[in-house]
Structure 1
Amino acid sequence: MLNLNKLDFTTLEVYGRNYLKWVQDVKLHLTAKNLCPAIEDKTNNPIGEAEKATAMIFIRRHIHDALQIEYLAKEDPQALWVALANRFDHQKDIFLHEARHDWHHLRFQDFKYVNEYNYEVCRIRSLLKFCNETLT
């Protein structure tokens, strides 16, 4: 089944390679639509069935078709959110390990231009910072 509607951002891939970016995109969009309580564990703001359905539709539209089929039984957006987190949230550990490896093996002489080196330094530092913030 193809998503025929225009998407707000890239769908979550079946192997979850883009999970960290996808989570941020979903949270931002749900917050903008005042639907973020639908996926939060503890919320003081009760949310109605219509809002839950809207959040569920939004999340399902932005995951790969194979994942939609696999999680077809999930009818609550918070349950789907937790299930996806249990499946893909380990990627923070993987990215942290890769970023540390890249940082330790970063050499100025491996780059043709200073701008390329600076870009790589900024990329690795931002990835390290993101992973350290989300893991603690």
Structure 2
Amino acid sequence: MANLTKLEFVALDVLGNNYLSWVLDAELHLSATGLKDTIDPEKIPTVEQNAKAIIFLRHHIHEDLKSEYLTIENPLTLWNNLKDRFDHQKLVHLPSARYDWINLRLQDFKSVAEYNSAIFKISSKLIFCDENITDVEMIEKTLSTFHPNTMILAQQYRERNFQKYGELISLLLVAEKNNELLLKNHRIRLTGSAQLPEVHNTSFLKNKRGKGHRGRRDYGRNRGRGNFRGRFHNQYYSDHLKWQRDGYNSGHQKWQCEVPNKRKAPQEGEN
């Protein structure tokens, strides 16, 4: 595990499953260190360059492969042997890469960024398998796989005659971000939720007038209720007093009217 942390890139698997990516990484690192001539049959590198290159290559292959090619000291010989052994991986990955390209559709992805990542991965596999994917093919693949509900938008993009895939995908990414912003603003405040200024003014005036009228009506109503209660209350005591007086005068059975907070009328025989 300690040796794995010192690797510049992932070591070549014993079965060669990652051979295509390993070849690319190895070539780039040999070029960066000035050792690319060691794997070029048309160049004559120095002994020191060959030594550095063979150490680098052996360090980035599986331990079992290192044991199998233990006696090889020339980096070009090791490079060619690995190529003869694992170059068939192109034929293994090619059908899968073609299948992924045929079934690639923009409408199957949740975002433009995810689609963009997928199309580059598939095109890279095809390039590893010696099948080049042009910008025109990538543009056509994108515009022809829009969602059916946005076919008019796809036609508008097609009329702009993009020559580079990067121009199209950049425009789609910007449009997606703007659309997300509009949807976010819509969720914060739904359409029609805010009243117009005229509506506010009208409501304020109505409320103001209503409070004034309501105050006057309440005032009049209270006065009316008070007068009614007063008349009823006075009439109540007046009738009962009349009853009491008439009863005494007619000589009928004497009775008295109880009046709250008033002294009772005297009975016969009482002082």
Q: What code does the residue aligned with 1:30 have?
A: L
Residue equivalent to 1:21: 21
Unaligned stretches of 5+ in structure 2?
A: 133-271
Residue equivalent to 1:103: 101
Q: Do residues 35 (structure 1) and 35 (structure 2) align?
A: yes
Residue equivalent to 1:70: 68
TM-score, L = length of structure 1: 0.81
Residue equivalent to 2:10: 10
Map Cα deviations across residues 40-63 of structure 1 (whole Å, 9 max, x no partner).
1112xx222121111000000000
Residue equivalent to 2:120: 122
Deviation at 1:117, TM superposition (A): 4.1
SS of corresponding position for 2:101: helix
Q: What code does the residue aligned with 2:8 have?
A: D
| Change over 3 Å in CA distance of 1:9–1:122 after alignment to 2 | closer
Equivalent-residue separation in structure 1 for 2:109 and 2:4 (angstroms): 42
Deviation at 1:127, TM superposition (A): 2.1
SS of corresponding position for 2:8: coil
For the 8 Å contact 2:94–2:129, the answer to whether it is kept is yes
Unaligned stretches of 5+ in structure 1?
A: none
Equivalent-residue separation in structure 2 for 1:119 and 1:126 (angstroms): 11
Equivalent-residue separation in structure 2 for 1:118 and 1:32 (angstroms): 29
SS of corresponding position for 2:13: coil
| Change over 3 Å in CA distance of 1:131–1:80 after alignment to 2 | same
Deviation at 1:93, TM superposition (A): 1.8
Deviation at 1:114, TM superposition (A): 5.5
Q: Do residues 87 (structure 1) and 93 (structure 2) align?
A: no
Equivalent-residue separation in structure 2 for 1:119 and 1:5 (angstroms): 27
TM-score, L = length of structure 2: 0.44
Equivalent-residue separation in structure 2 for 1:77 and 1:122 (angstroms): 32
Q: What code does the residue aligned with 1:87 have?
A: R
Deviation at 1:128, TM superposition (A): 2.0
Greater shift, 113-122 or 74-83, is seen at 113-122
Percent identical: 49
For the 8 Å contact 2:20–2:128, the answer to whether it is kept is no
SS of corresponding position for 1:132: coil
Greater shift, 71-80 or 4-13, is seen at 4-13
Equivalent-residue separation in structure 2 for 1:5 and 1:121 (angstroms): 31
Higher Cα Rg, which structure: 2
Equivalent-residue separation in structure 1 for 2:117 and 2:11 (angstroms): 26
Greater shift, 107-116 or 72-81, is seen at 107-116
| Change over 3 Å in CA distance of 1:35–1:113 after alignment to 2 | closer
Deviation at 1:122, TM superposition (A): 3.2
The number of residues matched between the two structures is 132
RMSD: 2.4
